[in-house]
Amino acid sequence: MAIALIDYNMGNLGSVHKALEVAGGDVRVITSPAELRGCRGCLLPGVGNFGDGMENLRSSGFDRALPAFVAEGGFFLGICLGMQMLLESSEEAPGVAGMGVLPGAVRKFPATGAKVPHMGWNSVRFEPGCPLRPREEKTDEPFFYFVHSFYVPVNPDYTAGTCEYILPFSAALHRGRWFATQFHPEKSQRAGLALLKNFITLVET
């Protein structure tokens, strides 16, 4: 089944597209909700500001189309900003509503003297039942590549993987057919490809 890669002018589509193909996905780049038809999975990448991202999603209609897509049986994977916009709001853009698929607010890392953004490789501790967890890795806490200044607090209702930088935060989310990662699997080499393969397997099952 095809996986829709959403182009809303906020993501590094090239590297994500290539990683999905290497992982075995049938990828279709789309720019409008109507193109979700015929796909069983979709991926929302994202690099940039929360407010700009939500404005682009709303202007294109994806903010309404994505919940409908998942409600009808589709699988969603958000990356970085594509994860943060699932929540209700973000300190990055006060007054701008997120998609509200998950409760809570995205927070800015506190000033502690540590470098922000959090940039580079860090380990992720997945919940045992998380379908995206790369089981091919020899360690229970594989390393992934992060670039972010804002984070999603840990919430036991939907946090599927945790990381620690300055404080513990959500590195991966899962509720129903909604999945998301704060890290960039397309930049995370073998572990990232394994995670994308697991998502593709979910879509094709």
E strands present in the chain: 2-6, 26-30, 39-44, 75-79, 89-90, 105-108, 118-123, 125-126, 143-148, 150-151, 159-165, 167-175, 178-181
Q: Tell me if residue 184 is catalytic.
A: yes
- Residue 113 contacts by C-beta under 8 Å, 6 or more apart in sequence? none
Q: Tell me if residue 163 is catalytic.
A: no
> 135-148 b/e with 16+ CB inside 10 Å = b?
eeeeeeebbbbbeb
Query: Of the residues 17, 148, 174, 184, which is catalytic?
Result: 184
Query: Of the residues 17, 92, 148, 186, which is catalytic?
Result: 186
Contact criterion met (CB below 8 Å) for 109 and 153: no
Query: Of the residues 39, 42, 80, 163, which is catalytic?
Result: 80
Q: Tell me if residue 39 is catalytic.
A: no
Q: Which amino acid is at 57?
A: L
DSSP summary character for residue 7: -
Residues serving a catalytic function are 80, 184, 186
